Amino acid sequence: MMTRRWSTFILLSLVILAVAGIGWAGSDIFQRFVIDMLVKLVVVLGLAVFVGNSGVFSFGHASFAALGAYSAAWFTLPVAAKKIFLPQLPAFALSTQVGLPTGAAIGVAFASLVGLLIGVIIVQLSGLGASIATVAWLAIVTTVLANTDAYTRGTSSLVGLPLATGIGAALISALLALFVAFLFKTSRYGLMLQASREDEVAAKATGISVRAVRLWAFVLSAALVALGGILQGHFRGVLTVSQFYFEFTYLTLAMLVIGGIRSLSGAVIGTFLVAGCAEMLRIVSGGFEFAGLMVPALPGLREIGLALMMLIVLLARPRGIMGSREFTWSVKTG
Amino acid sequence: MIYVIQTLVDAVSVGAVYALSALGIGLLFGVMRLVNFAQGEFVTIGIYTLMLTVGLWFPLAAILTVLVVVLLALLADRLAFKPVRDADPATMLITSFALSYLLQNVLVLIFGARPIGFNIIPELGLPVMIGEIRIPRLNILTICVAVGLLTGIALFLRRTRIGIEMRAAAVDFRMARLLGIKGDRVIAVAFALTGVLSAVVAVLFAAQTGTAAPTYGLQLALVGFVATVIGGMGSLVGAVFGGMIVGVVTVCLQALLPPELRVFREAFVYAVVIAILVLRPDGLFQGVGSRERV
Amino acid sequence: MTLLAIENITVKYGPIPAIRDVSLRIGEGETLAVVGANGAGKSTLTLAITGIVRPASGRIEFSGRSLLGLGPEATARLGVALVPEGRHIFEGLTVDENLLLGTTVLADRSSARHAMAQSYEMFPILHERRNGMATRLSGGEQQQLAIARALLSKPRLLILDEPSLGLSPVMVDKIYAILSELKSLGTTLLLIEQNPARIDEVADRVIVLSSGAVQASGLAAEILADEQLHASYLGGVALGARQ
């Protein structure tokens, strides 16, 4: 039983390792694609901790990616850059520069704290109400970040972040996120939350404090999504507020839903599948020459392809590709 | 004083558009517990239809817009929502999210992401002078159209059989079906009504801004959510009042807030939404006699 | 003539069966009562007949025609009407509007109008309150409204789920008087009750349901006189005892 349970973790780790290995060996462009995909995986696994276990859809987690990324950048930006771009930062932040690990710790801590504060409110609400509240929350955070120029440069982009997210950092973070998500899912709390997902009334009747468990899942998931946002910032070297808005929300939710929210194997498969398709569609929609024929750039094609993919999966397999199954040693089982 | 009246008229006309948008969201939520993100794109596609038909006689262009959007709404019901109708609300929610994204990017593919300017009826921009108060004709038109449409829908819901069936289905869908009321038909009519509302919002919005962009609808859909939450999810009367309140409050905040806080206006509005969800989950008008609880 | 025939139906919610292998028959003009404690599966039975839940196995035939997979709209159109537990009056609609919706399955407007007039004659209190909000009615009046609404479709089978639940003794008298009248008019009734105290007034036959399975069935007089059954399945309520 024990080995069977952990076999899912080991198998998925091997898949991630293999993907990272191929990326490491590949060309620069391909490596960038793999890093981006692993960063997205961190976010999707983070989402899975809350959405997957509780069954409550959150449209607001992009806010934690944004909060994490910006608060980490306050400390990881080179002092010279900070003095130019964010001269109004508090003195202690302005005068220090830390590496990515410390910066990430700061960013994750900050986002988790905010997640705890808003989480307390969101877990008061049931299903749809909670989802709508997360939409409102994302709108709040985006509005605030886009208008606090002193900390974010507002609608301009914040440049000069050290490019510290290499394939190693992305791989370690993805494995860490997988481990955390797996540990939570199979823990007592995770099982309680899954029970509430299937039947909230029954779960309450058995004495489960749905709110408390949901809150812990919310905070944990905010922390992982924040880590993903921090990695993305230090991968691209640039932060904009719009980077963490509906586009980001859509893409990461699509990855989760297409794979199947009830399964971590689904989160991994969904992320890799959607990222792969998105990359191919991106190349196609960028315009190309084929047999002497110029195919013009088709902006929007990538998004249309992804949306169709998601709709088809929703209509054909509302529980995603994996349903609630996980990969194990022997065979796939329910 | 003149400024105050002008601002108020402005506020009411913005509120009127929001009220129509909110009623569209509220109708579908009431009848089938669908939070329809894609309503934003119903509006956007209406704006683009109007842009394409702008050379035509205006009433014809407006009718064409209504027809296109109603057809789109019915197709959305048939192809996207009907297959997931028996799934949990979360699945419907995510389906509408995906549909919204799809439609929005189809528009990007066809028309590009940048706003395109066009002008429906330039004379609408001219003001009417009442004493010393200047009121743009467009504002008057907006308020008249909204009042007319809301009255029409209210009569439809009160006086026609299918209207009464819709109100019943909104309160208790299962019981309605047990009486032999055809759920599919009620939902299709609700989608058609949402289409009409979205098209009218599109016409009014386009007349106001004179531009079309793929992302315009999303903002209006979000306002619709906010308004339905304020009015009580599923209460149709509440949705209309909620929309009106959001419109008026937004315009007033814009006029009254000091400039450095003005930019955070939307953050305030959304914070109020969360507060209402927690403190008054049935909306602000809970307990008012005329309320139609769903 | 058998009107409704149920053979060996099992209904599951998830993996858990709510009713197992239940069979019953109702003849034309007959009144069958189903009794059993809370959670015995009585309401699930009504949901299965009316097409809201689909049995995992078994057959349901109404006047020789299978009801399986039809769904509630079509089942209603065939002549099955339900007065559900909790009445399910439409909130925000007037008494008149609630009743109007009861005529949905009738062919045309004039027969609907005629049926409404008849209904108001049978339930004068509803006529008195016809323009008021339905939810402003008292519990007993709401129950009358629910019964009137169901009758407006001119059903061949009327299913009543706990019609006396939560009503005052006077109102229970009133409801049972209505049921007796319906029975004397030849209406086929399926009466679901947790409390068997009054069913001897109307029931021809009785079925005892417990833990989702039929425990006993027979003529009303025999079943209701069986003290053993009472003690085991009906919470020890003395048969025929008046509250």
Task: Return the percentage of chain A with pLDDT > 90, whole number.
Answer: 62
Whether residue B108 has pLDDT greater than 50: yes
Q: Please report residues of B whose CB lies closer than 8 A to that of A308.
A: 102
The pLDDT tens digits of the residues spanning B228-275 come to 888 887 788 888 999 998 888 888 888 888 888 888 888 888 898 898
d(C-alpha A158, C-alpha A168), whole Å: 24
pLDDT confidence band for C17 (50 / 70 / 90):
confident
Taking CB atoms and an 8 Å limit, are B164 and C93 in contact across chains? yes
Shortest distance between the Cα of C87 and any Cα of chain B, in A, equals 9
Domain ranges across chain C? 2-87+158-233
CATH number for the region C2-87+158-233 comes to 3.40.50.300
Q: What percentage of residues in chain B have a pLDDT greater than 70?
A: 97
Task: Determine the residue among B160, B175, B290 to mutate to test chain C binding: the one whose Cβ has the most chain C Cβ atoms within 10 Å.
Answer: B175
- Which region among A9-13, A90-94, B199-203, C54-58 has the lowest average model confidence (pLDDT)? A90-94
Give the model confidence (pLDDT) of C101-126 as tens digits.
Answer: 999 999 788 999 999 999 999 999 99
Please count the structural domains in chain B: 1
Mark yes or no for CB contact C92/B293 under 8 Å: yes
CA nearest B87 in A: which residue?
Answer: A318
Substitution target from C93, C100, C136, C147 for chain B, most B beta carbons within 10 A: C93
Instruction: Report the percentage of chain A scoring pLDDT > 70.
Output: 96
Q: Judge contact between B197 and B21, C-beta under 8 A.
A: yes
> Which of the two residues, B126 and C79, has the higher pLDDT score?
C79
Instruction: Indicate if the pLDDT at residue C238 is higher than 60.
Output: no
Lowest mean pLDDT among C32-46, C146-160, C179-193: C32-46
Which residue from A57, A128, A308 is facing B102, i.e. has the nearest CB?
A: A308
Q: Nearest chain B Cα to C99, which residue?
A: B179
Say if the Cβ atoms of C91 and B291 lie within 8 Å: no
In A, which residues are within 8 Å of B83 by CB distance? 315
Q: Can you give the pLDDT at residue A334?
A: 43
Q: Tell me, what's the pLDDT at C178?
A: 93
Nearest to B157 by CA among B173, B144, B172, B169: B169
C27/B164 Cα distance (integer angstroms):
35
What is the rounded average pLDDT of the residues B165-182? 92
Give A125-151 pLDDT, tens digit per residue.
Answer: 877 788 889 999 999 999 999 998 888
Evaluated on CA atoms A78, A80, A85, A86, the torsion sign reads positive
Which one is predicted more confidently, A290 or B136?
B136
The pLDDT tens digits for A284-322 are 887 777 777 777 778 888 889 999 999 999 888 888 889
* Rounded Cα distance, B108 and B160, in Å: 40
Residues of B in contact with A125 (CB under 8 A): 277-278, 281
Contacts of B183 in chain C (CB under 8 A): 73
Pick from B97, B106, B274: CB nearest A136: B274
Rounded to the nearest angstrom, the minimum Cα separation between B294 and chain C is 8
| C15 contact partners, CB below 8 Å, separation of at least 6 | none
Q: Chains B and C: how many Cβ contacts under 8 Å?
A: 68
Q: Which residues of chain B are within 8 Å of residue A56 when distances are taken between CB atoms?
A: 90
| 3-state SS track over C43-58 | HHHHHHHCCCCCCCEE
The residue-averaged pLDDT of A204-222 equals 87
Check pLDDT > 90 for residue A328: no
Alpha helices in chain A (DSSP H): 2-25, 28-47, 53-54, 62-76, 79-85, 91-94, 100-122, 127-147, 149-152, 167-186, 188-198, 200-205, 210-236, 246-259, 264-285, 301-316
Q: Which of B176, B113, B122 is nearest to C98 (CA)?
A: B176
- Evaluate whether B251 touches B11 at the Cβ level (below 8 Å): yes
Q: What phi and psi values does residue C80 have, to the nearest 5 degrees? A: -110, 125
- Residue B109 domain-assigned (yes or no): yes
Partners of B102 on chain A (C-beta within 8 Å) are 303-304, 307-308, 311
Q: Do B270 and A140 touch (CB under 8 A)?
A: yes
Of residues C16 and C204, more confidently modeled: C204
Residue A110 has pLDDT above 80, yes or no: yes
What is the model's pLDDT at position A1?
Answer: 52
Using CB atoms, list chains with 3+ pairs below 8 Å to chain A.
Answer: B
3-state SS class at B136: strand
Q: Complex ipTM, two decimals?
A: 0.91
pLDDT of A330 > 90? The answer is no
What pLDDT, in 10s, does the model give residues A50-61? 999 999 999 999
Question: What residues in chain A have their Cβ under 8 A from chain B's Cβ atoms?
Answer: 55-57, 59, 121, 124-125, 127-129, 131-133, 135-137, 139-140, 143-144, 146-147, 246, 250, 253-254, 257, 298-301, 303-304, 306-308, 310-311, 314-315, 318
> With an 8 Å Cβ cutoff, are C93 and B183 in contact?
no
Give the pLDDT confidence score for residue C243 in this predicted structure: 38
How many cross-chain Cβ pairs, A to B, lie less than 8 Å apart? 122
Span B157-178, average pLDDT:
92
Residue A62 predicted with pLDDT over 70: yes
Closest chain A residue to B109, measured at CA: A300
The parent domain of residue B17 ranges over 2-279
Average pLDDT estimate for B157-180 = 92
With CB atoms and an 8 Å threshold, state whether C76 touches B165: no
Report the predicted TM-score, pTM, of the whole model to 2 decimal places.
Answer: 0.87
Nearest to B72 by CA among B29, B102, B31: B102
Percentage of chain B beyond pLDDT 90 is 47
Selecting from A140, A250, A314 the residue whose C-beta is nearest the C-beta of B271 gives A140
Q: Are C189 and C158 in contact (CB under 8 A)?
A: yes
Which of the four pLDDT bands, split at 50, 70 and 90, describes residue A332? Answer: very low
Nearest CA in chain B to C90: B168
Residue from B178, B185, B294 whose CB has the most chain C CBs within 10 Å, to mutate:
B178
B106 pLDDT above the threshold of 50:
yes
- Residues of chain B positioned with their CB less than 8 A from the CB of C76: 177-180
For residue C98, how many other CB atoms are within 10 A of its CB?
A: 29
Residue A16 contacts residue A178 (beta carbons within 8 Å) = yes
Tokens of C53: 């839940």
Q: Could you tell me which chain B residue has the CA closest to the CA of C78? A: B180
Position B285 in a domain:
no
Q: Does the pLDDT value for residue A221 go beyond 60?
A: yes
Residue C236 pLDDT > 70, yes or no?
A: no
**B92: domain CATH number?**
1.10.3470
